[in-house]
A = this chain, B = another copy of it.
Amino acid sequence: MKQERQLDEVDRRILSALQVDGSISHQDLAERVGASSASCWRRIKALEAAGILTGTVRLVDPAQVGRGVNVLCNIRMRSHALDARSAFERFVDDRPEIVECFSMSGEWDYLMRVVVADVADYNRFLMQILLGHASVAGAASHFALSMTKYTTAIPL
Contact = CB atoms under 8 A, between A and B. Distances in A.
A143 B105 contact: yes
Interface in A110-156: 110-112, 115, 142-156
A98 interface: yes
Contact of A152 (B51, B57, B112): B57
Contacts of A65: 4, 7, 15, 52, 154, 156
Interface size bucket, A side? 35 or more
A25 interface: no
Interface in A37-66: 50-66
Identify the interface centre among A52, A53, A96, A144: most chain B CB within 10 Å of its CB. A144
A31 interface: no
A82 to B, nearest CB: 13
Given A57-B57, A60-B153, A62-B154, 14 more contacts: A4-B64, A19-B59, A21-B56, A22-B58, A23-B56, A53-B60, A57-B59, A72-B102, A89-B149, A92-B149, A99-B152, A100-B147, A102-B146, A115-B154
14 contacts: A4-B65, A4-B66, A22-B23, A52-B64, A56-B58, A60-B156, A98-B149, A100-B149, A102-B147, A103-B144, A104-B142, A104-B144, A105-B142, A105-B145
